Amino acid sequence: MDVGGFGPTPELIDLKDFRAWILEEDAEILAIDKPGWIVCHPSKRGPLSSLIGASRIYTGIENLHLISRLDRETSGVVLLAKSRPVARRFQMALQNRCVDKVYFVVLEGSLHEPIRVNQPIGRDPCSRVAIRQTVRRSRSTRRAVSLFEPLINRNGYCLAKVKLETGRKHQIRVHAFWMDHGVVGDKIYGPDETLYLEFIEKGWTVRLEKTLPLIRQAVHAARLRFNFPEGERVFQSPFPSDLRRFCCQTMGIDKDELEENLADKYKIDQ
């Protein structure tokens, strides 16, 4: 079954493709529009198996620093710094919450009003999936806050904008699951976590295709805005074609209606 890069082992990155993913580059930073099939961190399969590895080859800089990172199946803005002082400046902005982080997601079910989720997140001790997180309160969990804003409800799904006040592992997906509005295509927090175990062992199977309406989780990191004393830095990634196709074909959203909603929410003050 041909699934492109979305097999259990991601395809190696072609540097010709990589150059087309560059959103912005200067002497300090490199902003990438990450496709959903790529991992951010290095792997044993060599530098072209990860975004950071390909970035090092492209720039010729070994000590690149990931400022923001995304789960493998999440698409959108990833920011890298070309030196430690620059990395420290951006990381301090993150720690001091001087950053505006905006995502678009497609959720199961309908959401009719904005919901602010303020629930701590930590590892799920009851799960067979080692990386699975959950909402629970203990000494090891950390505060997590997400604001979900519904944009369009159609055919049993909701296109929503999410703003994060914190940045925890799998935060959007965990909070969406906690709300009983799981992220479309999510193999870990979807209808059955054994789908994830099956995927990493066998790849995209007939069972996964019958169960999940999308080959990857419908999460897109649309914008990072850093507020510095000397001014702001804004990095934006356009809404990806696979999620656009799902919205129009599966949800039945009119193309013009989708474009209008997205354009409004991509505005900096939104």
pLDDT of residue 163: 97
CB atoms within 10 A of CB 159: 26
What gap in Å lies between CA 261 and CA 270, rounded to an integer? 11
Domain ranges of the chain: 12-96, 98-270
- The 10s digit of each residue's pLDDT in 199-256 is 999 989 999 999 999 999 999 999 999 999 888 999 999 999 999 999 999 999 999 9
Q: Dihedral through CA 89, CA 90, CA 91, CA 94, nearest 10?
A: 130
List of residues 6+ apart from 260 with CB closer than 8 A: none
Element of type H or E holding 1: none
Residue bearing tokens 């420290």 = 88
Q: What is the mean pLDDT of residues 10-37?
A: 94
Domains 12-96 and 98-270 share a fold: yes
* 2 pLDDT above the threshold of 60: no
Distance between CA atoms of residues 190 and 187, nearest Å: 5
Buried b / exposed e across 35-56, counting CB within 10 Å, b at 16+?
bbbbbbeeeeeeeebbbbbbbb
pTM listed for this prediction: 0.94
Q: Spot the catalytic one: 71, 124, 186, 242.
A: 71
- Give the integer Cα–Cα distance in Å for 190 and 175: 12
- Beta carbons of 53 and 204 less than 8 angstroms apart: no
Which CATH number applies to 98-270?
Answer: 3.30.2350.10
> Could you tell me how far CA 217 lies from the centroid of its own chain?
8
Digit-coded pLDDT (tens) for 31-87: 999 999 899 987 778 889 899 999 999 999 999 999 998 999 999 999 999 999 999
- 251-267 residue pLDDT tens: 999 999 999 999 988 87
- Tens digits of residue pLDDT in 91-146: 999 988 899 999 999 999 999 999 999 999 999 999 999 999 999 998 889 999 99
Active site includes 71? yes
CATH superfamily of this structure's domain 12-96 = Pseudouridine synthase (3.30.2350.10)
In this structure, the number of other CB atoms found within 10 A of the CB of residue 7 comes to: 16
